[in-house]
Amino acid sequence: MSIDTGAYGSMTALGRPLRPKRALVALLLLAFAVVPGGFGALTRELMVDAYLQVSAFVAATLLLFYGSERVFRYNIGEALSRARSAQVPLAALMGATPGCGGAVVVVAAYSSGHVSFGAVVATLTATMGDAAFLLIATRPDVAAVVLPLSFTVGVLSGWLIDTLRLAPPLSGKSEDGHLVPLIGQVRRRDMVFLAAAVPGLVMGITQLTGADIGAIYGEMPVLVVGLAGTAIGLAIWATSPLQAMTNSADAPVTRMAEETSFISVWVIGAYLAYDYLAAYGGLDLEAMFATVAPLLPLIGIVIGFVPGCGPQVLVTTLYINGLIPFSALLGNAISNDGDALFPAIAINPRAAVLATVYSAVPALIMAYGFYFLAPGFLN
């Protein structure tokens, strides 16, 4: 039984739209996870890490933002639109919030025409993504310096972009809240996704403290939660009628499940791409950081261009272990856009690339400023 659904192909008897290309990607990722031997084991480990280190935190922050919208009866995008001169600082503040949820919300607001391109640059420059959780947990003294600096740089960058009118034209694919398909009622899959995200968040927070979650919760429960959450997210993404962002009229739990699932696919891809290269292609970031000292801030900034939070968490880990200087950490914190870059790429690739390029300028200035003027600062 099938029903014509236009661009979305056919529908199953359950009424879920089939997205053939997405379904193929989801099945391919799941197939990688069940391959016997080291390859399958590595894939499963990376999927669990991606879920516990990123997806669970994205889900929590999105649910916090969207839930507050519903409880207090306001729309963040419209509130930012009315903020006018305060729009850029508010966007930067949302980006500076640990995790990627705040930055994702600003990107969604830009796609519907509620905020300026300067606000997008501000939030992407200010965000440190999920690496902020790790830094706060292990080096709160450094976090107290990096996060305010990133916020300040984000605000100044956003104002400068808007003043100079450097914004690209909005893509014709802009997803205005009135045009995005309305899902309507809370679905069973949304609640199942939430049920997996709760223990995933608990495990993820525990892992940020440096504890061995396998020893605390058991290897099998950690594996089950990580893989179950990943599989549920892939299923939601593969049957979603949405391109990237959700309709503001949908329930917070539905918006959280849909947008987290979309981001998670990109995160899994980034994790797999990096670690496959490390395991089978000889990529060694620690060796890169062990090269000529003056290149360290630049390497940190370049790694910040990589979408997602995995490489950024690694850079933070290298700093915590004393392998790179503060200047490299700061350059990475300013240049990296976290998981918010994924929906930005899907909605408006040109704007996403330009925002990343613009964030590189203050990253270079700040990183090399600290490198030459305060080489031993917080090292």
Asked if residue 318 belongs to a domain, the reply is no
Asked if residue 212 belongs to a domain, the reply is yes
CA dihedral (71, 76, 77, 83) positive or negative: positive
Q: Under DSSP, is residue 301 helix (H, G, I), strand (E, B) or coil?
A: helix
CA dihedral 358, 360, 365, 368 (to 10 degrees): 180
Q: What is the pLDDT of residue 197?
A: 96
* Contact of 201 with 60, CB cutoff 8 Å: yes
Distance CA 263, CA 197 (A): 14
Task: Give first-to-last CA distance, the chain, whole Å.
Answer: 64
Q: What is the pLDDT of residue 89?
A: 96
In this structure, how many other beta carbons lie within 10 angstroms of the beta carbon of residue 17? Answer: 20
Q: Which two tokens stand for residue 141?
A: 């003294």
- Name 85's Cβ contacts closer than 8 Å, sequence gap at least 6: none
Distance CA 4, CA 343 (A): 27
Question: For 283-308, what is each residue's pLDDT tens digit?
Answer: 776 676 766 778 899 999 998 888 77
Provide the domain count of the chain. Answer: 1
CA dihedral (33, 35, 40, 43) positive or negative: negative
pTM of the model: 0.73
Q: 211 vs 98, 309, 350, CA distance in Å? A: 20, 20, 41
- Name 356's Cβ contacts closer than 8 Å, sequence gap at least 6: 124, 305, 335, 337, 341
Residues of the chain whose pLDDT is less than 50?
A: 1-15, 172-178
Asked if residue 14 belongs to a domain, the reply is no
Distance CA 375, CA 198 (A): 42
Expressed as residue numbers, the domain containing 209 is 20-274
CA dihedral (236, 241, 242, 247) positive or negative: negative
Asked if residue 304 belongs to a domain, the reply is no
Residue 166 per-residue DSSP state:
-
Q: What is the pLDDT of residue 97?
A: 87
Distance CA 105, CA 255 (A): 11
Asked if residue 379 belongs to a domain, the reply is no
Distance CA 33, CA 42 (A): 8
Asked if residue 141 belongs to a domain, the reply is yes
Asked if residue 238 belongs to a domain, the reply is yes
Distance CA 325, CA 237 (A): 39
CA angle 364, 370, 376 (to 5 degrees): 145
Among the listed residues 193, 195, 249, 256, the one whose alpha carbon sits nearest the alpha carbon of residue 63: 256
Q: What is the pLDDT of residue 50?
A: 87
Task: Let me know if 56 is exposed, middle or buried by CB neighbors in 10 A (0-12, 13-18, 19+).
Answer: buried
Q: What is the pLDDT of residue 2?
A: 32
Asked if residue 339 belongs to a domain, the reply is no
CA dihedral (103, 356, 153, 287) positive or negative: positive
Q: What is the pLDDT of residue 16?
A: 53
Residue 15 per-residue DSSP state:
S
Q: What is the pLDDT of residue 178?
A: 46
Residue 129 per-residue DSSP state:
B
Among the listed residues 119, 148, 124, the one whose alpha carbon sits nearest the alpha carbon of residue 136: 148
Residue 336 per-residue DSSP state:
-
* Contact of 337 with 359, CB cutoff 8 Å: yes
